[in-house]
Structure 1
Amino acid sequence: MTAPESFVRAQAAHFAALDPLLPTPVLPHGGEPLGALNEDRKPLLALLREESHPPGTASSLWSARVCQQLYPLVASGTELDPLLRRWRELLDDRRDPGVDSACLLTWPSRDIEATQVLLRHGFVPLTVLAVRAGSPAGEPWEDGTPVRRAGEDDLPDLLELAMAELQFAARVGSAVVREDAERLKATALRDWLDDRFPMLLAERDGEAAGTVQFRAALLDEDSRPRLLPDGLWGYVNCLSVHQRWRASGVGRALMARAHAELPADRMGDYLYYNPANPLSSVFWPRQGYRPLWTVWEVRPARALQ
């Protein structure tokens, strides 16, 4: 869908007033237009897309099997309400996507007016995209924790840490422990190493204490949906610390090394975490990250109010 320029300009102005790091909105490819009218009979526009995450896909470990995602083009958070009501009507008119389904909407974290609207419609803030702007050097931090590059020989330890992280995340966020989760995680770890992306391993008392995956990501105007300004960014894919070593400095040691290895000329770093996670919601702000976008979710899809 090609959005009318006036809708894009209005939303861009709203985003700019909310947060200087929000880019000009760009809708993803595909999907169907969804329209509504506000109380003043002003037309409102959104794009509705449905995605499936069948068995055997890595994305099924952090998503419902069937996801409907709304991409609104509105000039204020309150204007989401008529679009959400229209979305609810469409769900009633169409085939039930089942229990393993979800409605999602990604919206700027600082839009408090939108927060009230989304809560009224039954959405829960399950994930945030958090950013660490710039590449602040900070003071070197060392506590004696050995941190090294991980390799293929470390795969058993990496898989154990990854599965523990998935099981924890399933209790506090959108992750799902599927029947094939261990196989999918093992494949993802091998692919990461095969692509020569950095993966660090921290050790304590001769055992694997934690790991982190990260890489440099070049974002441009073709990135859809567009969530960050164009340029070179550091991306942190996953940080996992063994339960025995949590709150001991292992996570901080891993991130200090990861930040140091990323290109110095990057625009900043970004990652996703679950705000309901009592560990992540404390740890990541201490590393300099703050929410930019919040991913709101309703499961199952027909629980949308």
Structure 2
Amino acid sequence: MNRSPITIKPMSTKHIPEVIALNQAQAQRFHALDYRLTPASSYERIVTLLAQHCQNAATSLVALDTAGRVRAYAHPALWELESYDSLLAFFTERNGITHSLTLPDPDDDDVLAVTEALFSALSTFWQAQRTGSDMLRWPACESWFEALVLGQGFILDSALAYHPARAAALVEPRAYPGLHVRLSQPQDEEVLVKLFEEELQAHQPFTPFVRCSPAIIQAFRDRLALQWAGKRLEAGAPLVLVVERNGELVAMAENELYIWEDGEEPDFMPCGRYGHINNLGVRKDQRGQGIGRLLVQAIFTSLAPFKLDGYILWFNPANPLSNPFWQRLGFRQLWRTYQRPHAEASQGTIGV
């Protein structure tokens, strides 16, 4: 393992060709390991992206070896959430992130020294921004990264899983006597809120970042209001399906339409239209009876007319219920997100 000194400096125009070459090599490596990941971008596309980074207030960073060669790149940034944002159930109001994280090949001798030096510089930037939590993401197919970031104080947060639309079309429907799936209605709202709260609480033992508050519940109600008002998926409204058993609502799934366009960050997926399963909750006393599978089956059917390229969702691989459930239904991990909460920002409680 090469422990030669690594220097972190602001990126300048002379570094751009090497950053592009490193970025393209990394994307090709990812795509070779998992064909579902975005292939390498063109030279022109990366030039445009780097120019956008340079226009932002934050400084783009490069890691240089003793010969002055670029060995890594990152554009640190701050991701701020409003007090009413439902994502505060999982993140803080000020989150440290990085765009276009580009690292050496894991087989290179200097990969550990380069990555540790770059992470130290990122931490310094985030500390200056007084972040409540810091986040990193990396493809699930490269397992070496996880051991490294866990050593830096990060914790596995969640995984982005993908299910191709063509495979969903081949799923053989199952019959579930006594269960009925329908579109949610305004009179369901209080039961939906209870299911949403129960879902967040179920995450608590496995996802230490999860929190609940009146503002988060209100954000959920606001999303429901878009559907009650007749808004369309393309306009940002959710599609909320529910399951009834003998007239009693026992489960729900909140779904959205995600459209990834060329040049959009973060580039989790190739450009296209995706159904996003945002929340899926089954009442605790009704689990293990096929209700979750029935809901996913109904999601595939309900969203099929939107000509999707696939379905995506986030889940915690450490959760012994959700991990095998999604795998059995054909969802495969693409990305993993790691979070490092700061002590003063992690004192929130679960429950309202």
Question: Aligned pair 1:204/2:237, yes or no?
Answer: no
Post-superposition shift, 1:96?
Answer: 7.2
Larger Rg: 2
Moved more, 56-65 or 22-31: 22-31
Percent of aligned positions that are identical: 25
Residue of structure 2 aligned with 1:289, choices 307, 311, 331: 331
3-state SS in 2 of match to 1:15: helix
Could you tell me whether the CA contact under 8 Å between 1:130 and 1:291 is conserved in 2?
yes
Farther off after superposition, 45-54 or 262-271: 262-271
Contact 1:58 1:188 in 2 (8 A): no
In the superposition, the TM-score normalised over structure 1's length comes to 0.87
Counterpart CA distance in 2 for 1:177 and 1:115 is 28
Task: State the distance in 1 between where 2:190 and 2:87 align.
Answer: 22
Greater alpha carbon shift after TM alignment, 122-131 vs 229-238: 229-238
> Does residue 52 of structure 2 align to residue 20 of structure 1?
no
Change (3 A) 1:198 1:302: closer
Q: Alpha carbons of 1:207 and 1:135: their partners in 2 closer, same or farther (altered >3 Å)?
A: same
**Cα distance change on mapping 1:91 and 1:294 into 2, 3 Å:** closer
Residues in 2 aligned to 1:147 and 1:32: alpha-carbon distance in whole angstroms: 51
Counterpart residue number, 1:191: 226
Residue ranges of structure 1 left out of the alignment (5+ in a row) = none
Q: Report the secondary structure of 1:263's partner residue.
A: helix
Tell whether the 8 Å contact from 1:35 to 1:45 is kept in structure 2 after alignment.
yes
Q: Which amino acid aligns with 1:46?
A: A
Q: Distance in 2 between matches of 1:296 and 1:209?
A: 32
**What residue in structure 2 maps to residue 117 of structure 1?**
148
In structure 2, the CA distance between the partners of 1:89 and 1:221, relative to structure 1 (3 Å rule), is: closer
Specify the alignment match of 2:210 in structure 1. 175
Q: Which residue does 2:63 correspond to in 1? A: 36
Q: CA deviation at 1:168?
A: 2.0
Aligned 1:1-305 pairs, distance under 5 A: 4-23=19-38, 24=40, 30=56, 31-37=58-64, 42-43=69-70, 44-71=72-99, 72-77=101-106, 79=111, 82-89=114-121, 91-92=123-124, 94-95=127-128, 97=130, 101-136=132-167, 137-144=170-177, 145-173=179-207, 174-194=209-229, 195-196=231-232, 197-263=238-304, 265-300=307-342
Q: Deviations over 1:2-27 (max 9, x none)?
A: 96432331222121122111114676
- CA separation in 2, counterparts of 1:225 and 1:301? 27
1:161-189 deviations in whole A, cap 9, x for unaligned? 11111222243223221353322222232
Higher mean alpha-carbon deviation, 224-233 vs 80-89, is at: 80-89
Measured in 2, the distance between the counterparts of 1:261 and 1:40 equals 57
Q: Distance in 2 between matches of 1:181 and 1:16?
A: 37
Which is bigger in relative contact order (C-alpha 8 A, separation at least 6)?
A: 1
How many matched pairs?
A: 301
Work out whether residues 85 and 216 of structure 2, in 8 Å CA contact, stay in contact via their aligned partners in 1. Answer: no
Instruction: Using the TM superposition, name which of 87-96 and 19-28 deviates more.
Output: 87-96
C-alpha distance in 2, partners of 1:19/1:161? 35
Indicate how the Cα distance of structure 1 residues 6 and 152 shifts in structure 2: closer, same or farther if over 3 A, else same. same
| Secondary structure of 2:166's aligned partner | coil
Hey, what's the Cα distance between the residues in 2 that align with 1:17 and 1:302? 41
* Letter aligned with residue 108 of structure 1: P
TM-align CA RMSD: 2.8
3-state secondary structure, aligned to 1:171: coil
Moved more, 61-70 or 194-203: 194-203
Measured at CA, do residues 62 and 278 of structure 1 come closer, stay the same or move farther in structure 2, by a change above 3 Å?
Answer: same
User: Structure 1 CA distance, aligned partners of 2:120 and 2:226?
Assistant: 39
Deviation of 1:231 (Å) = 1.9
- Structure 1 residue identity aligned to 2:201: Q
Assess if the C-alpha contact under 8 Å between 1:170 and 1:177 holds in 2: no
| Separation in 2, partners of 1:90, 1:138 | 44
